Amino acid sequence: MIVFLFRGILRDKSRFLFPFSVVSIGVALVVALVGFMEGVFMGMIDMTAKLNTGHLRLVNKPFYDEEHLYPLDRALAAQKETSIWLKNNSTSNIEWSPRIRWGALIDVPDTNGNTRSQTPVVGMALDLKSKNSSEIRRLKLKKSLIKGQLPQKSNEMLMGNSLAQNLDVTLGQSVTIIGQSFDGGLVADNYLVVGLIRFGVTAMDKKMVLIDLADAQSTFYMENMVTDWLGYLPSSFSFDHYIKAKKSINFNLNTWMKNPPNDWAKDDQPIAISILDQQNMGSMVKTFTVIKSSVVGIFTFLMILVLWNAGVLSGIHRYGEMGLRLAFGEPHWKLIFTLGIEGLFIGILGSIFGCFFGGSFAWYLQEVGLNMGDTFAKSGLMINDVVRARLTVDGFIQGILPGIFASVAGTLVASFAIFKRSEENLFRELEAG
């Protein structure tokens, strides 16, 4: 019977073509929109984690409370001991990287050694000289280099390309970092600009410089000290895993604080936080989830509404057929069941075609991307200038399930009109036809 119904649907274009088109278009739009939203939002999460917050972060609470001031005197000491502790007290799939956040003035001299230009910058110190540095791989620094090379010697710097243009800095030029040391004194140290880099985030390209961790420790008198330990998890892990890992580390920290390293200050209070606790990311994730669910819900409702009306119109033309089947003794529930099977077939076929076209468009945006640098230039968000969609299995599921549900639900709601008409009236319409 199922094969008979399937052949009947394909042969009768009045029953098949319109609902099939509605489901296909609806599913294609859902898959494409969900893929684009996932790509933009998760791209922002990835970029924020790589450049700033990590998926997890171990930081001294006094530093975290005033991090906008870059209080280096609240950095955590005992770098080596902390590194060993983190490896022993967190899961093996977390990759920890030490960093130093700092803020300072960049002074660019002229040929006479006088100040030609000067601007405040946001600095990040990380491992740039190790041969197998995970930071170089994670930030894709080799690929992001516009000119020059990565630091190889002491006191070498990578500068954002837009920042270098604003300061009129060229490769090989010496600049001076003027800032505050760990003990509160004024420091001034010369650095050689050996590479110009494009992070792909306008807000970062205009104000960020990168130096090696060991150089920063020397410049700011922070031997064996860092401001942050950033932890990175595989991209397949969900936000729930971040929360569980954070709670586990904080629980272990309470035990460690009973016998802390000797180099720590008495009021040091290290805490573990996740990316959801920083830069309002937690509320943004909730808002994004609501928006994504609303998009899927709206398209599902519209498909049900259209398919309901299409089913009613189709049912009017099939009242004679319904009357004949009821006259032969077929019960109402079985009649509606077969109509539901027809709706299921149409939903499956339409979802397959919709996934193909919607997935193709999302794949194109994933590979080619869409340049929105001008749009995000003044937003301050860590979003790559070239936004890309993200093609995932979940995206297809969120398109397929509403497509099938809408087709079946629309058909069943329309078929309930049969109960409002008697068998005599339905059969009389067959005779009139």
Instruction: For residue range 70-91, list pLDDT tens digits in order.
Output: 999 999 999 999 999 999 998 8
Neighbours of 184 (CB within 10 A): 9
pLDDT tens per residue across all 433 residues of the chain: 556 555 655 566 666 677 888 888 888 888 888 888 888 888 888 888 888 889 999 999 999 999 888 999 999 999 999 999 999 998 888 999 999 999 999 999 988 888 888 999 989 999 999 888 889 988 888 888 989 999 999 999 999 988 999 999 999 999 999 999 988 889 999 999 999 998 777 777 888 899 999 999 999 999 999 999 999 998 778 888 889 999 999 999 998 988 888 888 888 899 999 999 988 888 888 888 888 888 888 887 887 777 776 666 665 556 556 666 666 667 767 777 777 777 788 888 888 999 999 999 999 888 887 776 555 555 455 566 677 888 888 888 888 888 888 877 777 776 766 665 555 555 555 555 4
On whether both 296 and 428 belong to a single domain, the answer is yes
Residue 301 domain-assigned (yes or no): yes
**Token pair 């990287």 in the structure block, residue:** 97
Residue 335 domain-assigned (yes or no): yes
On whether both 204 and 343 belong to a single domain, the answer is no
Residue 31 domain-assigned (yes or no): yes
On whether both 220 and 339 belong to a single domain, the answer is no
CA contacts within 13 A on the Cβ side of 77: 14
Q: Are 178 and 105 in contact (CB under 8 A)?
A: yes
Q: Are 146 and 198 in contact (CB under 8 A)?
A: yes
On whether both 287 and 425 belong to a single domain, the answer is yes
Residue (of 242, 232, 234, 260) closest to 85 by Cα position: 260
Residue 85 domain-assigned (yes or no): no
On whether both 37 and 106 belong to a single domain, the answer is no
State the pLDDT at residue 83.
92
Last residue of a domain, one of 166, 201, 229: 229
On whether both 294 and 218 belong to a single domain, the answer is no
Residue 83 domain-assigned (yes or no): no
On whether both 288 and 192 belong to a single domain, the answer is no
Secondary structure of the chain as H, E, C letters: CHHHHHHHHHHCHHHHHHHHHHHHHHHHHHHHHHHHHHHHHHHHHHHHHHHHHCCEEEEEHHHHHCHHHCCHHHCECCHHHHHHHHHHCCCCCCEEEEEEEEEEEEEEECCCCCEEEEEEEEEEEECCCCCCCHHHHHHCHHHHEEEECCCCCCCEEEEEHHHHHHHCCCCCCEEEEEEECCCCCEEEEEEEEEEEECCCCHHHHCCEEEEEHHHHHHHCCCCCCECEEEEECCCCCCHHHHHHHHHHHHHHHHHHCCCCCCCCCCCCCEEEEEHHHCCCHHHHHHHHHHHHHHHHHHHHHHHHHHHHHHHHHHHHHCHHHHHHHHHCCCCHHHHHHHHHHHHHHHHHHHHHHHHHHHHHHHHHHHHCCEECHHHHCCCCCCCCCEECCCCCHHHHHHHHHHHHHHHHHHHHHHHHHHHHCCHHHHHHHHHHC
Q: Are 302 and 404 in contact (CB under 8 A)?
A: no
On whether both 362 and 425 belong to a single domain, the answer is yes
Residue 295 domain-assigned (yes or no): yes
Which residue segment(s) compose the domain that 303 sits in? 2-48+283-432
Residue 141 domain-assigned (yes or no): yes
Q: Are 315 and 85 in contact (CB under 8 A)?
A: no
The number of residues in the chain equals: 433
**β 208-212/174-180 pair status:** unpaired
pTM for the whole thing? 0.77
Residue 235 domain-assigned (yes or no): no
On whether both 104 and 43 belong to a single domain, the answer is no
Residue 399 C-alpha from the chain's centroid: 19
Last residue of a domain, one of 203, 229, 255: 229
d(C-alpha 405, C-alpha 307), whole Å: 11
Q: Are 360 and 30 in contact (CB under 8 A)?
A: no
Residue (of 168, 161, 211, 204) closest to 190 by Cα position: 211
On whether both 222 and 315 belong to a single domain, the answer is no
Residue (of 15, 22, 14, 6) closest to 407 by Cα position: 22
Domains: count for the chain: 2
Q: Are 338 and 53 in contact (CB under 8 A)?
A: no
C-alpha angle 404-31-275 in degrees, rounded to nearest 5? 120
On whether both 343 and 424 belong to a single domain, the answer is yes
Last residue of a domain, one of 187, 210, 229: 229
* Tokens of residue 184, six digits: 């509160």
Q: Are 336 and 415 in contact (CB under 8 A)?
A: yes
* Tokens of residue 121, six digits: 């910058």
d(C-alpha 242, C-alpha 90), whole Å: 12
On whether both 345 and 411 belong to a single domain, the answer is yes
State the pLDDT at residue 120.
92
